[in-house]
Amino acid sequence: MELLAFACAILVVMPLLLVFYHVLREGLSSVNLAFFTQVPAAVGEKGGGMANALVGTVVLIGQAALVGVPIGVLGGIYLSEYGGTKFNWWIRFAADILNGVPSITWGVVVYGLMVVPMHGSSALAGGVVLGLMMIPLVMRTTEEVLQLVPGGYREASLALGISKWRTIVQIVVRTALKGIVTGVLLATARIAGETAPLLFTAFGNLGWAHGLKEPIAAVPLVIYNYAMSPYPDWHRQAWAGALVLLLLVLFINIGVRFLTRDRFQQKI
Amino acid sequence: MENSFEAGLDELKQKLLTMASHAETAVNRAVEALVQRDNALAQRVKDEDRVIDHFEVEIDDLVIQLLTKAPLATNLRLVTVAMKISQDLERIGDEASKIAKRARDLSLEPPIKLNLDLPRIAGLALDMLKKALDAFVNRDSAAARAIIPRDKEVDALNKQIHNILAQHMVENPGAIGRCLHWMVASKSLERIADHATNVAEDVVYLCEAQDIRHTGVKSGAAIG
Amino acid sequence: MATANTPENAALTVRNLSIYFGGNHVLKNVSLDVAAKAVTAIIGPSGCGKSTFLRALNRMHELVPEARMTGDIRLFGDDIYARGIEPVAVRRRVGMVFQKSNPFPTMSIAENVTVGLRLNGAREKKFLVARTEESLRMAALWEEVKDRLHAPAISLSGGQQQRLCIARALAVQPEVLLMDEPASALDPLATSKIEDLVRELKRNYTIVIVTHNMQQAARISDFTAFFYLGELVEFGPTPKIFTNPSQKRTEDYVTGRFG
């Protein structure tokens, strides 16, 4: 039985290792200074890089976080600490449904809500769609993590004459912080690689966007376009992009784990 | 947990009653040895006093064990009262031994020419003891209170015998030694009645949680 | 209806207290006086309402949804349920220590002690440091932790954690300290330290302690209240309750015939 479980554990890790290996092999050679500093060359020409896409991805994730994190975390706090049982049940139900909505649908919705009235694609729309996708995920993980904080801490805090809000922020959230950050991270990692919604919103840009109201490049979009193209040079750059994306997600993970490490060594 | 405590309480009561019956027998035999001038019987009483002493030790041990279970309220009073009753019973046994000793001494000398009704005092004292123990078993506070004034009767009888003997000693100086033995024996019986009274007071405490000892009211009537 | 011996130095006067959780009538018309600077024990079988009663004294029962109360509770004369009185204000005057010790895991020992002060606005460092030492001394913990005040609170043993929680409660200088079975999760040595502590504390604080351990109540309390099925059955000086209770139900409970 143990052997079987062990084998399954290996099976889980295998795809990750395979992906890493493949992407590394194909993309490593193409990751050079030009890749990071130059914008795409003219169609058909060799050379150029993904500087604009990289910046674009960062901008989009940043906007998404600005939208998704506060609303998601505060929503999660509300679900966990306040609210009536009936009302909360409906909110959770809605959030769970939204978590299952295909990302392309999100793209279409924001297309209708923002791109059409604004008469064009924009970085803003891209950020908004990614942010909206983050919200239900962050909200649910935040709520679950807060629920794991034992009620005893809330009681002890309230019994000291600390107000409910302060109790939640300074005691409960503080205790659950690692979990909340993990939830945010999960959501960020998910949206970092989203391509479909961006098709309708950010749209992509061969150069730099000069403001959020303009379309903006993003790494997944570029990978999509390059991979579908007939140019081998673009193919190789697509691999590089994939590698960079993978490394980005990896570093986000490592970075957050470092920041939320146990400063206190547990003595047993 | 409670079952073993209840069982312990039952054992305690049993031991007390058995000890009481031994004490009662000892008194009866001692008085008989005295009246019948039976040295062998007197010796037997003295020898068997250690049985009564042993009971006191056993009961004390049992009480300590029960106290580790931290009994409260009635159970607490029951256990502590049982300990005190066993002490009174042990003293009664000792008094019986004293009577037996005097019986032995008297049996070695010619009898005095007096008719002293020590068996009557013994009867009264033992009846008081029996009623006190019944009251203990039945938790009958009223019955226990009823015993207390009877001590006066025993005291009066003892004083009477004392006076008779004192008179006799004046008239027959040669009998002084023997009269003194008789006085001591009578006094022992009076003390036995005192111990029975103590038991009755302890039973009142057990039932009412009221301590009526040393109140100076020898009527046993309820106060307040 | 039961009153303590000296109503004029009652810290808390409870009159006709009834508590309902939704349709459940959990406490029925309870009245008693909690004597100041003394220990009052609350005993009774599980589910008799003793914890609910305790929590009513610092309005913690209001955390239960659909909680409703009728009656009057006064803390040194002040109606703690009056309109406009915030529960938070009551809880600063009436502190509470719980059955399971719960020092905040993200904070050090010193931070735990002062959390009640800091989260209510206290900033001055000197004041906090002094109050930390004072509270830890009062909780008989100072000597054991004075050299590691910045160690995590959860690195302490169970008994130490509970004393830390007591220090934390004392730091805000309440007038009354409520204790809900504070030693029931502790080993005998730690329990006896807590009991010694309670005896010490009553010199300066009014203490109300819920306990299911009657011997503990007999050991440390001055007054005892016996609750059964939401009613206050008997209330009086501890020696009387445990040697000669007036009510048969009290006698039965105390001698272990039920509960």
Tens digits of residue pLDDT in A180-210 = 988 898 898 888 888 888 888 888 887 787 8
d(CA A94, CA A139): 11
Is C165 within the bounds of a domain? no
Q: Are the CB atoms for C113 and C171 separated by under 8 Å?
A: yes
Cβ-Cβ pairs closer than 8 A, B with C, add up to 31
pLDDT tens, position by position, C42-86: 999 988 999 999 999 999 999 988 899 999 999 999 999 999 999
Is B221 within the bounds of a domain? no
Which residues constitute the domain of residue C230?
7-106+177-254
Is C192 within the bounds of a domain? yes
Residue B222 pLDDT exceeds 80: no
- Which of B72, B75, B205, B208 best tests the C interface by mutation, with the highest count of C CBs <10 A? B72
Is C81 within the bounds of a domain? yes
pLDDT confidence of B201, banded at 50, 70, 90? Answer: very high
- Which of C52, C86, C102, C111 best tests the A interface by mutation, with the highest count of A CBs <10 A? C102
Cβ–Cβ below 8 Å for C242 and B76: yes
d(CA B13, CA B78): 9
What is the model's pLDDT at position A253? 80
Say if B68 is an interface residue toward chain C (CB within 8 Å).
Answer: no
What is the model's pLDDT at position C18? 96
Is B48 within the bounds of a domain? yes
What is the model's pLDDT at position B200? 96
Which residues constitute the domain of residue B99?
2-208
| Residue A109 structure tokens | 């919705």
User: Å from B8 to nearest chain C CA?
Assistant: 14
d(CA A198, CA A196): 5
In total, how many domains does chain B have? 1
Choose among A266, A248, A110: nearest CA to A188.
Answer: A248
Cβ–Cβ below 8 Å for B73 and C257: no
Is C151 within the bounds of a domain? no
Grouping H, G, I as helix, E, B as strand and the rest as coil, residue C25 is strand
Residue carrying structure tokens 């891209």: A126
Is B219 within the bounds of a domain? no
pLDDT confidence of A20, banded at 50, 70, 90? Answer: confident
| Residue B200 structure tokens | 């009755």
Backbone angles phi, psi at C206, to 5 degrees: -90, 130
d(CA B103, CA C12): 70
d(CA B127, CA C66): 67
d(CA B128, CA B122): 10
In total, how many domains does chain C have? 1
> What are the CA-CA distances from residue C115 to residues A99, C94, C144, C162 (Å)?
38, 16, 20, 16
Q: Which run of H or E residues covers position C232?
A: strand C231-237
d(CA B157, CA B190): 9
Say if B5 is an interface residue toward chain C (CB within 8 Å).
Answer: yes
A48-217: in CATH 2.40.160.20: no
Q: Which run of H or E residues covers position B63?
A: helix B39-68
Which among C58, C98, C119 has the least Cβ separation from residue A162? C119
User: Å from C243 to nearest chain A CA?
Assistant: 35
Residue of A nearest to C154 (CA): A266
pLDDT tens, position by position, A87-117: 899 999 999 999 999 989 999 999 999 888 8
Using a pLDDT cut of 90, give the percent of chain C over it.
Answer: 89
Residue C1 pLDDT exceeds 70: no
Is C234 within the bounds of a domain? yes
Q: Is A208 left (phi over 0), alpha (psi -120 to 50) or beta?
A: beta
Helices and strands per DSSP (H, E), number in chain B: 7, 0
d(CA C119, CA C102): 17
pLDDT tens, position by position, C232-258: 999 999 999 999 999 999 999 998 887
Average pLDDT over residues A247-251: 84
Residue of A nearest to C112 (CA): A157
Q: Are the CB atoms for A216 and A59 separated by under 8 Å?
A: yes
Query: Where along chain A do its domains lie?
Result: 48-217
Residue A153 pLDDT exceeds 80: yes
Q: Are the CB atoms for A187 and A168 separated by under 8 Å?
A: no
From chain C, the residues in CB contact with A150 under 8 A are: 102
CB atoms within 10 A of CB B111: 11
Cβ–Cβ below 8 Å for C115 and A153: no
Average pLDDT over residues C15-35: 95
Q: What is the mean pLDDT of chain C?
A: 93
Is B62 within the bounds of a domain? yes
| Residue C136 structure tokens | 């830890």
Is B168 within the bounds of a domain? yes
CB atoms within 10 A of CB C22: 11
Here the CATH number for the domain that contains residue B23 is 1.20.58.220
From chain A, the residues in CB contact with C88 under 8 A are: 158, 161-163
Cβ–Cβ below 8 Å for C215 and B70: yes
pLDDT tens, position by position, B100-119: 999 999 999 999 888 888 99
What is the model's pLDDT at position B178? 93
Is B102 within the bounds of a domain? yes
